[in-house]
Amino acid sequence: MRLLPLFPLNLVAFPGEKLNLHIFEPRYRQLVRDCLTEGVPFGIIPFLDNAVQELGTRMRLLSVEKTHAGGEMDIRTQAVSVFRVQKFYRQAPGKLYAAGQVEDVAQDEESDPALRATITRQVRQLYEALGLRKLLLELDPAFRIFDVAHHIGLSTEQEYQLLGTTAELERQELVREHLERLLPAVLEAERLKERVRLNGHFKNLQPPQF
């Protein structure tokens, strides 16, 4: 079984997303060179709670945008699929970087249009409250949960939980529940900020009619 080069990072990459990385450590510069030379993908595995996790994301190297004088590289990548690490090697044979024997994790992409409509409404409320209308404009009507997961206030641990959820329907439910809990707090915080902004300004108030 061919070993997949692995790049542990304190982040979760979701299938479909494009990720730009600045590569400066010698071991990962070697990893990028090997991927370029051999035309192979690599894997990003989340490093959480001081440990490498068992789930990761297969990444396609799209391009090396710049190689700096000191050897550092700016690269463009795209996440492709989710895998589970069967066996982790701190160093691949004869290499500086980590590697692993991995198996792909199958995904059930069936979604619920009604749930998507609910989440769209929740995301619209969240984005408008936070002043992120540009993100809202870029939201595809047929979006998947992975497309919005980085933009809805999830912690890295929650994002990892989402990565391990293999059915889109279940991911939809998780996100709907998360937004249901998050939205009231965000909206209240925005109302509070508005009250603070108004404090000290001349107010044109309409007195009640008795």
pLDDT tens digits, one per residue of 125-150: 888 887 777 666 677 888 999 999 99
Please give the average per-residue pLDDT across 35-45, as a whole number.
Answer: 95
Judged by DSSP in three states, 75 sits in: strand
- Tokens describing residue 143: 């979006």
CA-based radius of gyration for the chain: 22
CB neighbours of residue 132 within 10 Å: 13
Q: Indicate whether 5 pLDDT > 80.
A: yes
Q: Which helix (H) or strand (E) holds 73?
A: strand 73-89
* Cα–Cα distances in angstroms (integers) from residue 66 to residues 29, 39, 118, 191, in the given order: 12, 18, 42, 45
pLDDT level of residue 210 (50, 70, 90 thresholds): very low
Please give the average per-residue pLDDT across 200-210, as a whole number.
Answer: 52
Q: Which domains does the chain possess?
A: 4-104 (2.30.130.40), 113-198 (no CATH)
Q: What is the pLDDT of residue 38?
A: 93
Q: What is the pLDDT of residue 139?
A: 75
| Of the candidates 43, 45, 35, the residue with the CA atom closest to the CA atom of residue 12 | 45
Please give the average per-residue pLDDT across 101-124, as a whole number.
Answer: 94
**How large is the angle between the packed helices 156-163 and 168-198, nearest 10 degrees?**
160
CB neighbours of residue 102 within 10 Å: 24
DSSP 96: S
Q: What is the pLDDT of residue 187?
A: 81
Say if residues 57 and 82 touch (Cβ distance below 8 Å).
yes
Categorise residue 27: left if φ over 0, alpha if ψ from -120 to 50, beta otherwise.
alpha
pLDDT tens digits, one per residue of 168-192: 999 999 999 999 999 998 888 777 7
pTM recorded for the entire structure: 0.84
